[in-house]
Amino acid sequence: MPVLLEECLSGLDIKPGGVYLDGTLGGGGHSLEILKRLDTGHLYGIDRDGKAIEAASLRISLAGQSDKFTAVRGNFHDAKKLLSELGVNKLDGALLDLGVSSPQLDEGERGFSYQGDNPLDMRMDTSAPTTAADIVNTASVEELTRILREYGEENWAVQISRVIADRRKQRPITTTAQLVEIIDAAIPKKIRARDPSHPARRTFQALRIAVNDELEPLDRALRDIASLLKPGGRFCVIAFHSLEDRIVKNCFKNLADPCTCPKSFPVCVCGKKPTVKLITGKPITAGERELSENPRARSATLRVIEAL
């Protein structure tokens, strides 16, 4: 089920003849609903996951919407370049649904979930060279600690990293179950008992972000996509954790108010003008009905801007 679907469709303010981008195609849920609202318009869907491209393309074809749709294998971080190669230099709207798609979570062999016992992979693009197992088995204790702290905000990063280093001396850590057991051993039981969330959640998030390089290029990618918007074009971004949402929030805020003049100046002299306006002051979150039908929407936040 697409997260915050109605809110995204409303935020995009879709024009029947417009050109749109779904930069995180995933299962194609958002894309299909956008396509249903297009007449002479066109939608470009980008995803780095080949399986997602195939599944979403089939779903859209079966719905009779493929004539208005172009799938692109790649990373939304490179959206501006990928679209330019297709002759697309302006958009009426764009959508990003950051994080892991439901199909990726549900496919155990992808290793995104801490439930079950599966290969420790976590690659969104299965042709990419580095897996989570590679990082876990080769990174230094210091590097592992940095990854868990920065990308997972894990308070027990040092302890988990040390236990990982000890265990991998005995045998390689290759499965999700092995990693979960290590995390259980590293975090004291009394601490785990106080936290209702799964103790492995933050570590798995951190490794997934590191494997897929999700955060470092995000600000630039957001700016690139925003620069493609026609006046009045909308850009919707769904984030699933505070690290992503903070980057989106700060980027959108800066695009809407880029002035660098000291607050004491009576007028702006830096010459930097806003290129967008904020449509959402505070992020939009899922309502109770959606949460009851789709628990994965619980941490989702939506922010929307409009090009000036």
Lowest-pLDDT choice from 48-57, 87-96, 99-108, 297-306: 99-108
Place 296 in a pLDDT band, splitting at 50, 70 and 90.
confident
CB 46 within 8 A of CB 23: yes
Same domain, 174 and 261: no
Asked if the model's pLDDT at residue 119 lies above 80, the reply is yes
Same domain, 157 and 299: no
What pLDDT does 181 receive?
Answer: 97
Confirm whether 229 is domain-assigned: yes
Confirm whether 172 is domain-assigned: yes
Confirm whether 107 is domain-assigned: no
Asked if the model's pLDDT at residue 70 lies above 90, the reply is yes
Report how far Cα 100 is from the mean position of its chain's Cα atoms: 7
Asked if the model's pLDDT at residue 45 lies above 80, the reply is yes
Same domain, 79 and 227: yes
Helix (H, G, I), strand (E, B) or coil at 271: coil
Same domain, 219 and 207: no
The parent domain of residue 233 ranges over: 5-99+215-307
For 62-77, what is the mean pLDDT? 97
Give start and end residues of each alpha helix (H) in the chain: 5-12, 29-36, 50-62, 79-85, 102-106, 132-138, 141-152, 157-170, 176-186, 189-194, 201-212, 218-227, 242-256, 288-293
CB 74 within 8 A of CB 82: yes
The Cα 90–Cα 216 span in angstroms is 25
Domain count, the chain: 2
Which CATH number characterizes residue 78's domain?
Answer: 3.40.50.150
Same domain, 197 and 255: no
Confirm whether 295 is domain-assigned: yes
Same domain, 27 and 45: yes
Last residue of a domain, one of 192, 212, 232: 212
Same domain, 270 and 287: yes
Confirm whether 118 is domain-assigned: yes
Same domain, 207 and 121: yes
Asked if the model's pLDDT at residue 189 lies above 80, the reply is yes
Q: What is the mean pLDDT of the chain?
A: 95
Asked if the model's pLDDT at residue 99 lies above 80, the reply is no
What pLDDT does 71 receive?
Answer: 98
Give the H or E element holding residue 120: none
Lowest-pLDDT choice from 23-32, 44-53, 240-249, 265-274: 265-274
pLDDT in tens, 190-219: 888 888 889 999 999 999 999 999 999 999
The Cα 10–Cα 15 span in angstroms is 11
Is the Cα dihedral 195, 2, 240, 124 positive or negative?
Answer: positive
Same domain, 126 and 206: yes
Asked if the model's pLDDT at residue 150 lies above 90, the reply is yes
Same domain, 245 and 154: no
Give the H or E element holding residue 200: none
Tell me the β-bridge partners of 128: none
Confirm whether 106 is domain-assigned: no
Last residue of a domain, one of 195, 212, 229: 212
For 243-255, what is the mean pLDDT? 97
Which CATH number characterizes residue 189's domain?
Answer: 1.10.150.170
Last residue of a domain, one of 161, 196, 212: 212
Query: Which whole-number Å values give the CA distances from 13 to 3, 49, 115, 245, 248, in the listed order?
Result: 17, 28, 38, 22, 20
CB 176 within 8 A of CB 111: yes
What pLDDT does 10 receive?
Answer: 98
For 24-38, what is the mean pLDDT? 97
Asked if the model's pLDDT at residue 123 lies above 90, the reply is yes
pTM for the model stands at 0.92
What pLDDT does 193 receive?
Answer: 82
Same domain, 30 and 168: no
Asked if the model's pLDDT at residue 104 lies above 80, the reply is no
The Cα 164–Cα 137 span in angstroms is 8
